[in-house]
Structure formats: C-alpha cells, structure tokens
A and B are shown apart, each in its own frame.
Chain A
Amino acid sequence: MKKVKADPKGVLTGSHYLDGDHSLAEGGLAAGCRFFAGYPITPSTETAERFSERIPTVGGVFIQMEDELGSIAALIGASWAGKKVMTVTSGPGFSLMMENIGLACMMETPIVIANVQRGGPSTGLPTLTGQQDMMQARWGSHGDYEIIALSPDSPQECFDLTIEAFNLAEMFRVPTFVMTDECIGHMHEKVVIPPAEEIELVERKWYTGPKEKYLPYKPDKDLVPFMIKAGDGYRFHTTGLTRDERGYPVINAECQDVCVRHLVDKINKNADKIIKLKEEEIDNAEIIVISYGITSRVAIKAVQKARKAGIKVGTLRLITVWPFPEKRIKELAKKIKAFVFPEINCGQVVLEVERCSWGQTQVIHVPHCGGWVHNPDDIFNAIKEAAK
C-alpha cells in the first residue's frame, strides 16, 4: 500500500464553520477527488454546489448529469480513466444508483458515494432526517457483493471520513459510502482542516509489471487485484458479466463461484483492517448502547442519565457500519445483559446485532421512522428496561 501526501491545491487548511454537506465536499477535494458527477437532491445538494464552485480552482471537472443513473456511470468511467471520483445523493437518487453500484463492484472500481439520508420510502421526507438506507447501502443492488460504509457523527467527521472513504475505496477497489443524514448534513460546527502534509492518502494499487502479463482480476496477496487505467496501452477488457481473471466473460457456475466469492472475501477477510469503532466505558458495562451517525449524539444524553441513575452503560459507536463488526459484537454479547440499539429506521442494522448475539444477550431496538431524531428519554427507557 503506497501512501502519499495530499495535494495542497485541494486542501482548505484552517479552522472553519461548516455544515456536513460542505465538509463532505472539502473532504473529497482534500482526498484528491478531481471528478464529480451528480444530480441535485435535497438534503445533499450543497455538496454538489460546493464542488461546482471549488473544483475549477483545483484542476478538476464537475458535471451535473441528467440523472443519478448517469452520474454513477460517469463516475465509474472516470475512475477507470485514473481519476479519484465522488458523487453525493439522497434516498431517491441512491435508489437510481443501485444499478451501477453493482457494476462498480463487479468491475472492482474505486468510487465514493455520500448519501445524506432523508426519510423514505419514495419521496418521503425530502428535508427531514432518516437512517433508512443502511441496508440498501449494503445490498441494494442485485446479486451478492460487499461494500464499505462509514457513518460520520459530525461535520468534522464528514471531512475526516470522506478522506477515509477514498483511502478504503482505493485500497480495496470497491464502492465506499459515507452514510450521513440530513441533520449532520445541515448542522454547522467547527471543522478543522489540517495542512496537506498531515493528510495521508492511499494511492491506487497501480500495476507496474510487464504489460502482456497483466490480468485485471488476478487477486494479489491481500486479495485486491492491481489496477491500470484506460489509455495506457494495455488493451484490456472488463465487463459487468461474470468474468475470469482476464476480465473475459465466462458464463458458468464455476467462474461465478470464483468471481463472486472473491468480491465478498475481499472485504470480509479484510474486515479487521477496515473496521473502526468507538467504545467507551465498555469494560464493566452491563448494557451497551450501540449507535451510529447522528443517533450517537442523541443516545449520549440517555446514557448520561442512565449512568446517573446507577446503571452501568457502555457505548459502542459504529464508525464503520459495513463490513459489520461481527467478531466484536459476538465477543461482547457473551459478557453483557443487553444491547440497546437506537437507529432512525424500523430495524435495519440491529438485525446484524441480533444475528451476532446468537441469543446470548438481549437486543432491544429503539426504532424511529424518521423526520427527527429520537427523544433521548425513549432510549433511556429502553436502557432502564434492559437493566431490570
């Protein structure tokens, strides 16, 4: 893995007062994103607007496409031409992107997609928050595959995790999602952007061997194949069809097994290298509150209240949601009385916690259908109930 310093041109070093949407754009620019294709949608549009304003001054292209089907297709093309690429959207646009998220997985193409989630289904709540696209982020396109999804809890993390998302996308040649939400997207806070030389970026895994020996999908030791770009004289082929190491279509169950297993293993077997969690006061906890994104900030109020009431509560924040921290949850499930899991949906990521708990501990979900964050008391009551 080759690391390089950020290109100072894209880095707006300093202390700023920014909302999450604008921070996503700054994170992308700092990470070296020089191609943005998107389509306006509330509550994510500000990211696209900032890109359109900033990218001409750093040597890149912004294009507003005709729809999100086109945005993501353009992203994959641009990534194969060698650029770091990004788009931003929300629910309805995310749905349209599903088609070519599958193509990006199959072609093993690094792309970054930020989803500033709003309430759904359908047009739902254009201006109000939700965390309802979490399962869609994981498997919304057809077929089997794995992706990476991160969940920031602040505008600062929108910046930090967008850079992280680029690094992971490049490292694993996989679509990587920054799954934020309307609240954080529109929340203004202090965002500190470090000097370029303090921002470490992962360079794409460029192939350097002899041209005739190149195989676009031959896994390296870390399971990730080396990449090349169009125009460099390799005369390579790639397809959305099930393909062999050469990138040639092979339509049978044997090749499918190798190809799909690889797409899944590449992420799952590297899960330890990918996953980031934030744990607090876990050691003596009887109850652990799991959360991600904006809900972590609401849950903390309930946790404080519970601690005051004498309940031993720890917290676990999923900075990485996908791949899911299966090992850690299994480990903790053996030690505690209950997990309490608030999320702004009717029960999505909690299904993974239930699966990993294997019936060894209680899992109490605190649902919310979207439109606003939880009332901390709802979470507090769940903790109290669990502690009984």
Chain B
Amino acid sequence: MKKEDQLEEKNPIEDLLRMDRIPHIWCPGCGIGTVVTSFIEALKKSKLDLDKVVVVSGIGCTGRVAGYVKLDSFHTTHGRAVPFATGLKLANPELNVVVFSGDGDIAGIGGNHFIHAARRNMDITIICVNNFNYAMTGGQVAATTPLGANASTAPYGNFEFPFSLPYLADAAGATYIARWTALHLRRVTKSIQEALSRRGFSFIEVITPCVTLYARRNRLGDGLNLLKYYYDNSEIHHGADTRTLDISYQGKLVVGKFVDKEKPTFLDAMNEHLGKVLGDKYVLYGRINDDRD
C-alpha cells in the first residue's frame, strides 16, 4: 500500500465509538470498520462541533454504523435514512447530518430518496459502503452487483445492468462526488473531510467488498487480500467524466474525486427565493453563520 494511503498518526478513535457496544457484529476482515475509522479520523481533523454532527443509517451491515459511533445517531428503516436526514437538517440547519449506509439501502430501496435529495441539493453528506450485494440478508443481488457476479438470488450470475453510483449522483445534481476503496484510508478520510466542509449534497462511495458473502460465493479470496485486490486494481482519475465509471466484474476500478462544485442548497434557495417574492412577510429560516465554504 502506498505510504500516502496509510493513516499517519494513530489517533485514538475510541472516544468517538460506543465502546460499551463493542465487540461489533461485523465479520473478521470486513471493510466497514475501516471506513468508520476513516470517518472518525475525518471528524477529528475537521473543526466541526461534534455535538452537532448527527449520523443516520438505514438497515444493513453498514446500517449498523449508527449504533457504534458516539455521536447523536439514528438507526432508521431500510432505505429511509436520506429522508430522515432531510428532516433533521431542515428542522435544525445547524446540524451536520451524515448518512452512513449500504448500497442497497441508498441506491436500491432508497434510490428515489437519494436522487431527490441530490436534486434539491440537500445539505447532507452521504457515505455509501458499496459491497456489491445485500450483505445483511445473506448476499443477494443488488443494484450494484457487477454483471456476471454470483449472488444468492442470482445463482447463475447477475444479468442485470448495475448502477454506477457516482454517475447517478452526478445526473441527479450532487455537488461533491468521490469514489475510493476501503483501503484508500487517507483518501477516504480526506474526501469525508472535504464533503463535511462543503455546503450541499456530497456523496462518497467506498468500495468495500463483502468478504463473507460476495467474495466467498465468487471465490475471490478473503479479508485483506480481497480489499487489496480492489485497491491494486484501482486507478486514480480525479475529475473523470462520471459516464465512464462503470464497474465491471473484477475489472479495473476508476476512483478519485469526480465532482466538487457549488450550487445553492435547498435552504439557501428557499431563503433567497421566498425572501425575494414575499419581502417583509417572509420569516428568514435558519440562516446560520456557517464558516464552511
């Protein structure tokens, strides 16, 4: 692994974990914990008031993240983390709301909420662990399973075209989009830090193969070897055209920061527009001194 991808200092992360809930439920060698570590690093490096950082998860292996971070955290229902986060953010714009959930949760059952939150440029950050399957329920085919890969409900191999999540996010209007693998520790950390500092809908996809189900079923090796395979087969291409980011079965993986732009958020647009149209009658809503860019 390249030096810049390793975490330089060993920051204690325990104070941001619910140690009274450890051991966690994740399998040995699962990459979700690695992504959580990067997330906590990012929080520590950010200058955010951590009392105002809220984590919302849906359901799934990744959905359990909300239960392990020592922040205000909500473990909601399958697919509804994004609208739940929307409610939190709109009701208290001072909150920094992070959705941490799986590919099935965010882009399968929650796909409609995902594209609409992106369209509205809802000021939230999404960290999506893409493990190419529905892991929690035993490795079923997902909207992200590469063509040809085997899954418990695609026992003859998957023949459905998968989503490319960065492309979907881009088309729907997200203002910050990045993709990494779980082993790009520092880059994931940096992207999360950047996303947290941006106003708008930020989306970070972290390719984190499920060692127990997806990898075993497809005979792809285990644990660190597997994570390393994806890491080694990834090419960093910042600013890549999001139309070119399809993931093929065991093929090359384009990673990087693809989109980083500015656009008024839902609340900015609401305040601006209604203020203009309604004049004095409008009661400015939740405008805060926001020192983020």
Using CB atoms and an 8 Å cutoff, list the residues of chain A in contact with chain B: 9, 34-35, 37, 56-61, 63, 65-67, 69-71, 73-83, 85, 99-100, 102-103, 107, 229-241, 248-249
Using CB atoms and an 8 Å cutoff, list the residues of chain B in contact with chain A: 18, 20-21, 51-52, 54, 56, 59, 66-67, 70-77, 79-80, 82-92, 94-95, 112-113, 116, 266, 270, 274, 278, 281-283, 285-286
Q: Are the CB atoms of B86 and A58 closer together than 8 Å?
A: no
Give the 8 A-B residue pairs with the shortest CB-CB distance, closest first.
A77-B87, A74-B87, A81-B91, A78-B91, A239-B75, A78-B87, A70-B83, A73-B83
Q: List 15 A-B contacts (CB under 8 A).
A: A58-B283, A69-B79, A70-B83, A73-B80, A73-B113, A74-B83, A102-B77, A103-B77, A230-B54, A230-B95, A235-B72, A238-B73, A239-B67, A241-B75, A248-B20
Q: Are the CB atoms of B74 and A77 closer together than 8 Å?
A: yes
User: In the assembly, what is the distance between CA of A249 and CA of B75, in Å?
Assistant: 10
19 other contacts beyond A69-B83, A230-B88, with CB at 8 A cut-off? Answer: A61-B91, A61-B286, A63-B86, A63-B90, A65-B83, A65-B86, A66-B113, A69-B79, A70-B86, A79-B87, A80-B74, A81-B87, A81-B89, A81-B95, A82-B91, A102-B77, A233-B51, A240-B59, A248-B21
Distance of A367 from chain B, by nearest CB (Å):
35
Q: Which of B67, B92, B278, B281 contacts A230 (CB 8 A)?
A: B92
User: For A66, what are the chain B residues with a Cβ–Cβ distance below 8 Å?
Assistant: 83, 112-113, 116
User: In the assembly, what is the distance between CA of A103 and CA of B78, in Å?
Assistant: 11
User: In the assembly, what is the distance between CA of A235 and CA of B95, in Å?
Assistant: 13
Q: Are the CB atoms of A231 and B72 closer together than 8 Å?
A: yes
Q: Which of A34, A59, A230 contacts B72 (CB 8 A)?
A: A230
User: In the assembly, what is the distance between CA of A70 and CA of B70, in Å?
Assistant: 26
Q: Are the CB atoms of A76 and B73 closer together than 8 Å?
A: no
**A56 with B274, Cβ < 8 A, contacts A61-B285, A70-B80, A238-B74 known:** yes
Distance of B159 from chain A, by nearest CB (Å):
29
**A237 with B67, Cβ < 8 A, contacts A73-B80, A231-B94 known:** yes
User: For A57, what are the chain B residues with a Cβ–Cβ distance below 8 Å?
Assistant: 278, 281-283
Q: Are the CB atoms of A99 and B77 closer together than 8 Å?
A: yes
Q: Are the CB atoms of A37 and B87 closer together than 8 Å?
A: yes
Q: Are the CB atoms of A240 and B75 closer together than 8 Å?
A: yes
User: For B76, what are the chain A residues with a Cβ–Cβ distance below 8 Å?
Assistant: 73, 76, 100, 103, 240
User: For B86, what are the chain A residues with a Cβ–Cβ distance below 8 Å?
Assistant: 37, 63, 65, 70, 73-74, 77
User: In the assembly, what is the distance between CA of A79 and CA of B76, in Å?
Assistant: 14
User: In the assembly, what is the distance between CA of A237 and CA of B20, in Å?
Assistant: 12
Q: Are the CB atoms of A73 and B87 closer together than 8 Å?
A: yes
Q: Are the CB atoms of B270 and A61 closer together than 8 Å?
A: yes
Distance of B279 from chain A, by nearest CB (Å):
11
User: In the assembly, what is the distance between CA of A352 and CA of B94, in Å?
Assistant: 47
Distance of B149 from chain A, by nearest CB (Å):
29
Q: Are the CB atoms of B75 and A59 closer together than 8 Å?
A: no
Q: Are the CB atoms of B95 and A231 closer together than 8 Å?
A: yes
User: In the assembly, what is the distance between CA of A133 and CA of B281, in Å?
Assistant: 39
